[in-house]
């Protein structure tokens, strides 16, 4: 397969990106190719310095960069030769099978909409984060930041997207889907969660009711659905708490599993293709994980499965 990677996105680009790609390449099979989008000369120089050959790597020269300060919609119009613009064009044409970037996440969303678009019948795309459980495994938390004013019917659909992600990419059989809420009982919550509960109850997936925040760390639920504003706050809160604890020198397996480097990037669920959004602070380890996660999601055929389910749902 051909794994697309934006070499210019993220705080430590292109160095960390290229080094991460080199690390990932060593774990991929001979027929896999990582396609790097970015400044060719710069990328070649980093590869040279690392003393590796180009086997399994390709470079598509891009003369522009969309950075963190660019307004996403404007940037795609004004920078057609940017690594993001060209990368998404390749994804649309099928010249790469997946596309990942640790750059401007708003631009990743816009790029998706302008290129592969959303699957038929998807109301809103979303980002799914993987939060470690205290015992073992992870909880899929979604949305964590795309849709900041989520409608009840969208929450319902996030449950479906999260359920498929947990099953296809994480191998969880009949994933238990909970709705993030301030109480366990039906009827608890704000207007949004009360309405979403009613839709999820007859949802066609394994809905297990409301999940209080403590459930995220426990083993009673696999997928926790929430509004993107709430999910982003919660994810950031969990991350900063874990970071604060780690900084205090407390060494623990649970805390060490909060390392974003383990997965490297979050899939944009609902996109009509495999799009992976990385952390801006990604180092080479995180980029390596993001590349391998891209392949895993592609191989899981989650996009194909979801497409057929969503089509038949209508």
Task: Give residues in contact with a second copy (CB under 8 A).
Answer: 134, 145, 148-149, 180, 182, 189-193, 212-214, 216-217, 227, 229-230, 232-234, 236-245, 247-248, 250, 252, 254-255
- Least distance between a second copy and beta carbon 139 (Å): 12
Cα atoms in the Cβ-side hemisphere of radius 13 Å centred on 299? 12
- Least distance between a second copy and beta carbon 52 (Å): 37
Q: Which is nearer to a second copy, 146 or 271 (CB)?
A: 146
- Least distance between a second copy and beta carbon 27 (Å): 32
Q: Which is nearer to a second copy, 70 or 227 (CB)?
A: 227
Q: Which is nearer to a second copy, 114 or 229 (CB)?
A: 229
Q: Nearest-CA neighbor of 120 among 268, 306, 298, 300?
A: 306
- Least distance between a second copy and beta carbon 10 (Å): 18
- Least distance between a second copy and beta carbon 64 (Å): 24
- Least distance between a second copy and beta carbon 236 (Å): 4
Cis peptide before 143 (omega within 30 of 0): yes
Q: Which is nearer to a second copy, 129 or 230 (CB)?
A: 230
With H, G, I as helix, E, B as strand and everything else as coil, classify residue 14.
coil
| CA 166/CA 163 separation, integer angstroms | 5
With H, G, I as helix, E, B as strand and everything else as coil, classify residue 180.
strand
Q: Which is nearer to a second copy, 153 or 252 (CB)?
A: 252
> 138: alpha, beta or left, given left = phi > 0 and alpha = psi -120 to 50?
beta
Residue-by-residue DSSP string for 273-288: SEEEEE-TT--HHHHH
| Residue 213 vs residues 127, 151, 217, 250: alpha-carbon distances, Å | 18, 20, 8, 23
Q: Which is nearer to a second copy, 214 or 312 (CB)?
A: 214
């Amino acid at each position: 397969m051909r794994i697309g990677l934006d070499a210019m996105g993220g705080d430590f680009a292109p160095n960390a990106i290229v080094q991460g790609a080199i690390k990932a390449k060593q774990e991929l099979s001979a027929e896999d190719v990582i396609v790097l989008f970015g400044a060719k000369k710069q990328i070649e120089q980093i590869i040279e310095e690392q003393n590796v050959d180009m086997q399994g790597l390709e470079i598509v020269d891009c003369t522009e960069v969309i950075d963190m300060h660019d307004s996403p919609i404007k940037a795609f119009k004004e920078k057609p030769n940017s690594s993001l613009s060209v990368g998404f064009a390749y994804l649309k044409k099928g010249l790469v099978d997946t596309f990942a970037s640790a750059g401007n996440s708003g631009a990743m969303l816009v790029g998706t909409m302008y290129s592969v678009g959303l699957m038929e019948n998807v109301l809103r795309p979303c980002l799914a984060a993987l939060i470690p459980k205290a015992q073992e495994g992870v909880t899929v938390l979604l949305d964590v930041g795309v849709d900041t004013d989520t409608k009840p019917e969208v929450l319902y659909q996030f449950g479906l997207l999260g359920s498929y992600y947990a099953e296809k990419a994480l191998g969880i059989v009949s994933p238990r889907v909970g709705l993030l809420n301030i109480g366990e009982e039906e009827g608890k919550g704000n207007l949004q969660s009360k309405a979403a509960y009613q839709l999820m109850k007859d949802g066609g997936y394994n809905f297990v009711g409301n999940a209080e925040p403590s459930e995220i760390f426990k083993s009673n639920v696999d997928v926790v659905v929430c509004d993107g504003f709430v999910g982003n706050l919660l994810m950031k809160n969990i991350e900063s708490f874990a970071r604060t604890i780690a900084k205090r020198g407390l060494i623990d397996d649970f805390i060490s599993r909060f390392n974003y480097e383990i997965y490297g990037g979050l899939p944009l669920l609902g996109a009509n293709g495999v799009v992976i959004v990385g952390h801006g602070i990604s180092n080479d380890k995180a980029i390596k994980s993001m590349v391998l996660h891209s392949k895993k999601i592609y191989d899981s055929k989650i996009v194909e499965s979801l497409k057929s389910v969503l089509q038949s749902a209508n």
